[in-house]
Every structure is written in structure tokens, then in C-alpha cells.
Structure 1
Amino acid sequence: MTVAVFFDAVLWLARSGARWRDLPEDRFGPYQTVKRRYYRWIEQGVFDQIFEAIAADPDRSGFRSMRP
């Protein structure tokens, strides 16, 4: 599973409010794989690092241009 597919799966869950087991397997693969990577990234602080990088320089990350 690529990082892009993983992020798509996490965003799909956040937007839909669905449970892990409701992830479309044909689109994201087995939900267990996504769930395992998600919790591994939480434990390793990967999401914290991503959010800190975005917060530190929103212009560089491209997120400022997404604001209305």
C-alpha cells in the first residue's frame, strides 16, 4: 500500500465517520492493513511530525493556498 492510498483511506474514514471494517477493500485493501499502519504511525509520532511541519509553515506546505 502506498502512502497516498493510506492517506486516502484515513481521510475517507474521517469524512465518512465509518468504522475500520467499512473501508472499501477494493479501493484501500484490507482494513486491517490500514488500521495497523495508522496505529503504528500514531505510536511513532508520524502524524505529530506532519501536523507540526504544516503548522510551522503553511505557505510552504501548500495549505494556505487552499483557504477560501
Structure 2
Amino acid sequence: MSHRWMFEVLADLESYALHNDLDRLAQKLSEVARYAAYEISSSEERNLPVPRQAEPARLELPPAK
């Protein structure tokens, strides 16, 4: 199964965040995309299946004002 869709969703979310002046969120989404690429490529290099139900990323957000 291709993981391309996930990177497209992350890119769309990052674009939305940047367009709406949510710079910290955009930065975190970029980090998540890089981490996902690393994990997927590492799994593929070792011929390991990528888990279908991974733990969701936990983003630390500032308290609501």
C-alpha cells in the first residue's frame, strides 16, 4: 500500500496552517512528515511491515487563551 496519501494530507494541513498564520503548527506538521518518511524508509530497508495502526502523533500545543 502506498503512503503517498498520508504525505498529501500532511502537506495540505501544513499549507492550511501557514495560510492561517499557524506557524508552530505548520512547523510540527513538517516535522511529522519528515519523521514519517524516515520511519517508512527505515521499515522498507529492513523489509518490515509498517504498522497499520500506529500511535497518533502527540503535538504539544500552547494553552488556549
Shorter-chain TM range is: 0.3 to 0.5
Q: Which has the higher helix share?
A: 1
TM-score normalised per structure 1? 0.32
